[in-house]
Amino acid sequence: MKNTYIIAFLTLLLFTNCEKVVDVDVPSIAPKLIIDASFEVFFDENPINAKTEVQLKLSADYFDETNPVVTNATVFVTNLDTGTVIDYTDSDADGNYQPVQAFIPQDNATYELTVIYNNETYVATAEKVKSTPLTLVEQGDQTLFTGEETEIKLFFTDDGAVNNYYIFDFSNSLFLALEDRFFNGADYGFSNFYEEDDIELPATVTIKMSGVSKEYFSYFNILIDQSGQNSGGPFESVPSSLFGNIINTTNEDNFPLGYFHISETDTFTVNLVDRN
Residue 209 forms beta bridges with which residues?
Answer: 168, 266
Chain segment 51-78, per-residue pLDDT in tens: 999 999 998 765 556 789 999 999 999 9
- The sign of the dihedral angle between the CA atoms of 168, 172, 174, 175 is positive
The pLDDT of residue 275 is 81
Task: Say whether pLDDT at 37 is over 60.
Answer: yes
Q: d(Cα 191, Cα 144) in Å, to the nearest integer?
A: 11
Cα–chain center distance at 164: 19
**Per-residue confidence (pLDDT) for residue 235, from 0 to 100:** 55
Count CB atoms within 10 A of the CB of residue 52: 21
DSSP 69: B
Q: Which pLDDT score is estimated for 226?
A: 77
Give the containing element (helix H, strand E) for 227. Answer: helix 214-227
pLDDT in tens, 133-152: 999 999 999 988 888 899 99
| pLDDT category of residue 167 using cuts at 50, 70 and 90 | very high
Contacts of 169 (CB under 8 A, 6+ apart): 175, 207, 208, 210
Kindly report the pTM of this predicted structure: 0.85
Strands 85-89 and 74-79, sheet pairing: antiparallel
Binned at pLDDT 50, 70 and 90, residue 111 comes out as very high
Listed by start position, the domains of the chain span: 35-129+238-264
pLDDT bin (cut points 50, 70, 90) of residue 233 is low
37 within 8 A of 261, measured Cβ to Cβ: yes
Whole-angstrom Cα distance, residue 31 to residue 34?
Answer: 9
Q: pLDDT at position 104, please?
A: 97
For the chain, give the mean pLDDT.
87
| Rounded CA separation 96/44 (Å) | 25
Lowest average pLDDT, out of 15-29, 87-101, 180-194, 252-266, goes to 15-29
Distance of CA 80 to the CA centre of its chain: 26
Q: Answer yes or no: are the C-beta atoms of 102 and 93 closer than 8 Å.
A: no
Describe the strand order of the beta sheet including 187-194 as a list of residue ranges: 134-139, 150-157, 187-194
